[in-house]
């Protein structure tokens, strides 16, 4: 056994937020061998990013972090080390790639200068490295400023910058969130190859189990700052020992998920109550007993795989999962004869780009080229495409927020269709109560206050919220509750057409599944037509009756989701499908889409 | 229940604003109270000869007496009224006028917005203080004229900030969502847009009080503000400047009070900004 690159023992971090102390990491301990890729998986707030920040010494100083325990990197102790040691470690041993590649590069310096400053390498080495990351024409890239590069190119530059320093450890915190699906897969492939070639250990922080499985060797599942399960990815993903992992895995959807019925989900989390002495997951656990709330489960060897698990009753999990009832399938409704709810015919749109001066011609970029799209009442169409394909433009035209340059948009009702937004928190006005915002669409009817309140309450209950939530402000609600409130506002007066703009991209695994179920339920109950814009083909397949694929402003394919995925006609659809990570396809899929 | 809620939000405010800034906010309120009730707070009649001239600060006359023998402490207490209240009034008027015009510009957009913006630009490029001075000379010295001249050049800042905030907020998803829900007109402006613009405007206003007081004091210093017997702090400093080396308290103490009041206003502005940032 080689000496570990990273050894963390009894590591705890306490941060002060809003005047109260939060134990963000609670006695974490694990080690990483050279060249090993370890995925840190968990929901937002689980502390997975804090580990990366702590390793880089970047814990938010405003929250006065209190750090205890031990972190050893290649034999150097970092906790309590003097500044000089920390700086040396940060320069020589640890490098990091962030979520936002554009923000990580200095916009005023050429790529070459930034690489030289970071690593001290000469031009030839720099260009060689840029070539190794799969960038064509490295000389041009090296001479460019960051704004000339795409997000994928920036991320490649960053990985070159990190790897050139030959660090012992690379921290990659959700490095693919800003990238398109096809680029994501290529990037992960590159990351793994470079890590293997250089024997660099990688901590891969992600909320996406599919990515963790396709990239990493080992997986570490975090919940509320504690490790709940640790083991080889195949073991953990194939045979989870902790009810939380099992729940996450069940909630994760891909091309193999059953789309005829609601997805399995985890119970939602309410508040950030400190677990104290018990098991942190107990409040959400379906097999929790009295002892779970009293005894903190130690990390012990798992009964079903060679890894470790922190659950008192892990032995019972297989039995428990088997007993889990399968949800009733969605009712089947014929939509063939239904009325057309939304129709775009021959719609084109261009935007003016470039500098607008008093003289000179405006350059314009065509975003949409004669789009034809029809949605019938009760039908859900998913619009799939990468960023810049024009998905959002179509959505905004359907909402009446934009007018087409040519072509027509037909809507069945005169009221504008309702929108479900990407980020539920920013879609609610922070200083107005939920009830006031949900009830806004009732005001035109001038009904009496009691009736008004009753209708708002009913809308909230329809989306699974307590009617008392109407008195709360958005900041008193969790993200999941905000999402429900946004949907309640959309359906308080049932619209004929519901438009969804990437409603899953800001959500965790389990919350995404919950939202898909809720949307599926509501649209069937109210007989709405739904246009669901997403970059995620798997989500599209689950929610929609029909999938339309959009590539740079043109619809390239349109059809039944399963047929489209099984037998894609367009080359672009094929590349989208190949790039989707799958839970049980493992690493082979990643290898299949090498750049 | 509501008392508990009020207590919690007060603690929350203190924590966000910081103790020094919170103290400054309290200080600003106290200064305002002193300004309003100044007539009743003076130990001696501020306009009358109450002792020998040029007495140094003592237990009897805390800040000494001036060239006529008036009690300087009493005059400064009254001076706070003459300095602080006009400053506050100027900021409130500029806030109201500028905020309203900015709200209209931001909400209307198009030509109205363009016209208002260019007007604001016009005011911003002019050397404000200089022209305000010229205006007072033209209108004749006096408090009302000085205030009018300053307001004329002060509101555009608020108009610009308010317009910018409204434009920014209009593009946010939650305002768009309100629009799609059928909210429009005054309701959209007052419930959805204005509350979002308030923090920026309030913070600017508190930080501005100091500037306004300085400008007013400068005008009085130049003899364009309130006429001679009025105990305006800037004017008091100006008139006593030649006796700086002999009777130091006469120019230094009024100036120090101007300094303190401006510092309080600035700190209060900082505190308010910190407290409203999270809201």
What pLDDT shows up at residue B105? 92
- pLDDT over 90 percentage in chain A: 22
Q: Which region among A241-255, B147-161, B212-226 has the lowest average model confidence (pLDDT)? A: B212-226
What pLDDT shows up at residue B6? 74
Taking the CA of residue A115 and the nearest CA in chain B, the distance in Å comes to 36
What is the CB neighbour count within 10 angstroms for residue A98? 18
Chain B residues touching A422 at Cβ < 8 A: 173
Domain hosting B153: range is 2-277
Q: What is the mean pLDDT of residues A134-152?
A: 86
Q: What is the mean pLDDT of residues B223-235?
A: 78
Is the confidence at residue A595, as pLDDT, over 50?
no
Among chain A residues, the shortest Cα distance to B11 is held by: A19
Is residue A531 within 8 A of residue A499, CB to CB? The reply is yes
Taking a contact as any Cβ pair under 8 Å apart, which residues of chain B between 126 and 185 contact chain A? 172-178, 180-183
Region for A470 from its dihedrals, namely left if φ exceeds 0, alpha if ψ lies in -120 to 50, beta otherwise: alpha
Taking the CA of residue B29 and the nearest CA in chain A, the distance in Å comes to 26
Query: Pairing state of beta strands A340-353 and A76-77?
Result: unpaired
What pLDDT shows up at residue A434? 92
* Lookup result for tokens 């689950």: A542
Q: Complex ipTM above 0.85? A: no
SS3 content of chain A, % helix, strand, coil (to 5): 40, 25, 40
CB contact under 8 A, B174 and A428: yes
* A173: enclosing H helix or E strand: strand A169-173
What pLDDT shows up at residue A458? 92
Taking the CA of residue A439 and the nearest CA in chain B, the distance in Å comes to 9
Per residue in A422-473, pLDDT (tens digit) is: 888 899 998 899 999 999 989 888 889 999 999 999 999 988 888 888 898 8
What b/e sequence results for A297-316 when a residue is b if at least 16 CB atoms lie within 10 Å of its CB, and e otherwise? bebeebebbebbbbbbbbee
What pLDDT shows up at residue A278? 83
Q: What is the mean pLDDT of residues B162-187?
A: 90
Per residue in B107-118, pLDDT (tens digit) is: 888 899 999 999
Per residue in A223-240, pLDDT (tens digit) is: 988 999 999 998 998 889
Is the confidence at residue A148, as pLDDT, over 90?
no
What pLDDT shows up at residue A590? 46
Planar angle of CA A93, A95, A97, nearest 5 degrees: 165
Closest in A426, A431, A440 to B178, CB measured: A440
Is residue A329 within 8 A of residue A524, CB to CB? The reply is no
Among chain B residues, the shortest Cα distance to A428 is held by: B174
What b/e sequence results for A397-429 when a residue is b if at least 16 CB atoms lie within 10 Å of its CB, and e otherwise? bbbeebebeebebebbeebbbbbbbbbbbbbbb
Domain count, chain B: 1
Question: Measured on CA atoms in the order A563, A565, A567, A570, is the torsion positive or negative?
Answer: positive
What residues contact A323, with CB distance under 8 A and at least 6 apart? none
What pLDDT shows up at residue A358? 53
Is the confidence at residue A588, as pLDDT, over 60?
no
CB contact under 8 A, B182 and A19: no
Q: How far apart are CA A433 and CA A472, in angstroms?
A: 5
* A96: enclosing H helix or E strand: strand A94-97
User: For all residues of chain A together, what is the average pLDDT?
Assistant: 85
Query: Pairing state of beta strands A418-420 and A308-309?
Result: unpaired
Alpha-carbon A592 to chain mean position = 23
Q: Is B2 part of the contact surface with chain A (CB cutoff 8 Å)?
A: no
In a 3-state reduction of DSSP, which class is residue A296? Answer: coil
Is residue B159 within 8 A of residue B201, CB to CB? The reply is no
Q: What is the mean pLDDT of residues B206-211?
A: 83
With cut-offs at 50, 70 and 90, classify the pLDDT of residue A275: low
Q: What is the mean pLDDT of residues A149-163?
A: 87
A-interface mutation test, from B1, B17, B174, B176, most A Cβ less than 10 A away = B174
Q: Which region among A298-302, B130-134, B136-140, B228-232 has the lowest average model confidence (pLDDT)? A: B228-232
Q: What is the mean pLDDT of residues B49-62?
A: 84
Per residue in A381-413, pLDDT (tens digit) is: 999 988 778 888 899 888 888 888 888 888 887
* A532: enclosing H helix or E strand: strand A529-534
Chain A residues touching B202 at Cβ < 8 A: none
* Lookup result for tokens 């009732």: A442
Chain A residues touching B192 at Cβ < 8 A: 429, 432
* Lookup result for tokens 């800001």: A506
With cut-offs at 50, 70 and 90, classify the pLDDT of residue B160: very high
User: For all residues of chain B together, what is the average pLDDT?
Assistant: 86
Q: How far apart are CA A93 and CA A85, in angstroms?
A: 11
Taking the CA of residue B156 and the nearest CA in chain A, the distance in Å comes to 26
All domains of chain A in start order, with CATH: 340-417+495-592 (3.40.50.300)
What pLDDT shows up at residue A429? 92
Is the confidence at residue A542, as pLDDT, over 80?
yes
Q: pTM (2 decimals)?
A: 0.80
If you write DSSP's letter for every residue of B218-240 in order, what string do you get?
HHHHTT-SS-TTS--HHHHHHHT
With cut-offs at 50, 70 and 90, classify the pLDDT of residue A247: confident
Q: Which region among A175-184, A225-234, A464-473, B242-251 has the lowest average model confidence (pLDDT)? A: A175-184
In a 3-state reduction of DSSP, which class is residue A487? Answer: helix
Q: What are phi and psi of A378, to 5 degrees?
A: 85, 0
What pLDDT shows up at residue A333? 73
Is residue B81 within 8 A of residue B35, CB to CB? The reply is yes
Total beta-carbon pairs less than 8 A apart between chain A and chain B: 54
Among chain A residues, the shortest Cα distance to B14 is held by: A19
CB contact under 8 A, B181 and A441: yes
Chain A residues touching B279 at Cβ < 8 A: 430-431
What is the CATH classification number for the domain harbouring B193? 1.10.3720.10
Is the confidence at residue B14, as pLDDT, over 90?
no
CB contact under 8 A, A432 and B176: no
What pLDDT shows up at residue A361? 58
Is the confidence at residue B279, as pLDDT, over 60?
no
What b/e sequence results for A556-566 when a residue is b if at least 16 CB atoms lie within 10 Å of its CB, and e otherwise? bbbbebeebbe
Is residue B220 within 8 A of residue B238, CB to CB? The reply is yes
């Amino acid at each position: 056994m080689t000496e570990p690159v990273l050894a963390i023992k009894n590591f705890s971090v306490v941060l002060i937020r809003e005047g109260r102390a939060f134990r963000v990491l609670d006695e974490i301990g694990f080690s990483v061998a050279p060249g090993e890729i370890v995925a840190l998986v968990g929901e937002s707030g689980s502390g997975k990013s804090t580990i990366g920040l702590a390793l880089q010494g970047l814990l938010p100083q405003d929250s006065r972090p209190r750090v205890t325990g031990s972190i050893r990197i290649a034999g150097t102790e970092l906790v309590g080390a003097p500044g000089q040691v920390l700086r040396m470690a940060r320069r020589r041993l640890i490098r990091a790639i962030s979520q936002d590649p554009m923000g990580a590069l200095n916009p005023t310096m050429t790529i070459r200068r930034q690489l030289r400053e970071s690593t001290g390498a000469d031009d030839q080495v720099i260009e060689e490295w840029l070539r190794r990351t799969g960038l064509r024409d490295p000389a041009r890239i090296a001479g460019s400023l960051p704004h000339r590069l795409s997000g994928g190119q920036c991320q490649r530059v960053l990985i070159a910058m990190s790897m050139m320093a030959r660090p012992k450890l690379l921290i990659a915190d959700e490095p693919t969130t800003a990238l398109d699906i096809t680029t994501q897969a290529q990037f992960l492939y590159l990351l793994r190859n470079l890590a293997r070639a250089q024997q660099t250990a990688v901590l891969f922080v992600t909320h996406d189990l599919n990515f963790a499985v396709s990239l990493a060797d080992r997986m570490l599942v975090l919940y509320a700052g504690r490790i709940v399960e640790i083991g080889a990815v195949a073991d953990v993903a194939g045979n989870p020992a902790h009810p939380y992992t099992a729940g996450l895995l069940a909630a994760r959807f891909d091309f193999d998920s059953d789309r005829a019925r609601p997805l399995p989900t985890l119970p939602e989390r309410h508040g950030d109550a400190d677990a104290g002495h018990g098991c942190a997951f107990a409040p959400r656990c379906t097999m929790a007993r009295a002892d779970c709330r009293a005894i903190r489960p130690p990390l012990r060897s798992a009964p079903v795989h060679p890894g470790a698990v922190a659950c008192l009753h892990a032995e019972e999990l297989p039995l428990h999962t088997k007993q889990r009832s399968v949800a009733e399938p969605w009712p089947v409704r014929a939509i063939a004869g239904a009325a057309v709810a939304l129709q775009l015919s021959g719609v084109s749109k261009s935007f003016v780009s470039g500098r607008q001066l008093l003289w000179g011609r405006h350059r314009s970029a065509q975003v949409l080229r004669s789009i034809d799209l029809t949605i019938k009442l009760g039908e859900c169409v998913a619009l799939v495409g990468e960023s810049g394909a024009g998905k959002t433009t179509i959505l905004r035209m359907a909402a009446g927020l934009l007018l087409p340059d040519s072509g027509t948009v037909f809507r069945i009702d005169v009221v504008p269709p309702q929108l479900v937004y990407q980020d539920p928190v920013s879609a609610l006005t922070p200083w107005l109560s939920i009830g006031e915002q949900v009830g806004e669409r009732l005001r035109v009817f001038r009904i009496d206050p009691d009736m008004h309140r009753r209708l708002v309450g009913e809308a909230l209950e329809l989306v699974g919220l307590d009617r008392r939530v109407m008195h709360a402000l958005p900041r008193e609600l969790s993200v999941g509750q905000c999402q429900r409130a946004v949907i309640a506002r959309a359906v308080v007066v049932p619209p004929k057409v519901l438009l969804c703009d990437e409603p899953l991209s800001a959500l965790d695994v389990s919350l995404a599944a919950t939202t898909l179920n809720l949307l599926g339920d509501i649209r069937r109950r109210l007989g709405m037509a739904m246009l669901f814009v997403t970059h995620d083909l798997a989500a599209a397949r689950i929610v929609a009756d029909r999938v339309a694929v959009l590539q740079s402003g043109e619809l390239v394919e349109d059809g039944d989701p399963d047929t489209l995925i099984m037998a894609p006609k367009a080359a672009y659809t094929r590349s989208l499908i190949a790039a989707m990570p799958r839970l049980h396809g493992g690493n082979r899929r990643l290898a299949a889409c090498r750049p | 229940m509501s008392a508990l809620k009020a207590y919690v939000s007060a603690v929350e405010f203190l924590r966000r604003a910081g103790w020094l800034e919170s103290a400054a906010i309290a200080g600003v309120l106290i200064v305002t109270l002193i300004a309003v009730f100044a007539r009743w707070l003076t130990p001696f009649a501020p306009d009358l000869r109450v002792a020998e001239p040029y007495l140094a600060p003592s237990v009897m006359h805390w800040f000494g007496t001036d060239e006529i023998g008036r009690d300087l402490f009493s005059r400064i207490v009254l001076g706070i009224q003459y300095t602080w209240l006009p400053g506050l009034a100027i900021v409130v008027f500029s806030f109201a006028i500028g905020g309203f015009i900015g709200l209209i510009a931001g909400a209307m957009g198009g030509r109205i917005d363009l016209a208002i913006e260019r007007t604001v630009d016009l005011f911003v490029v002019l050397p404000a203080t200089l022209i305000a001075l010229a205006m007072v000379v033209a209108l004749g010295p006096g408090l009302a004229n000085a205030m009018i001249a300053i307001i004329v050049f002060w509101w555009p800042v608020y108009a610009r900030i308010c317009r910018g905030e409204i434009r920014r907020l209009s593009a946010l998803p939650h305002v768009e969502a309100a629009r799609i829900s059928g909210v429009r007109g005054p309701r959209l402006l007052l419930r959805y847009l204005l509350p979002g613009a308030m923090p920026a405007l309030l913070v600017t206003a508190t930080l501005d009080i100091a500037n306004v007081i300085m400008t007013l004091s400068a005008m009085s210093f130049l003899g364009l503000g309130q006429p001679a017997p009025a105990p305006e702090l800037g004017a008091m400093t100006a008139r006593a400047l030649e006796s700086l080396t002999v009777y130091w308290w006469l120019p230094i103490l009024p100036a120090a009070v101007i300094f303190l009041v401006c510092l309080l206003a600035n700190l209060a502005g900082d505190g308010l900004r910190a407290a409203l940032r999270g809201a």
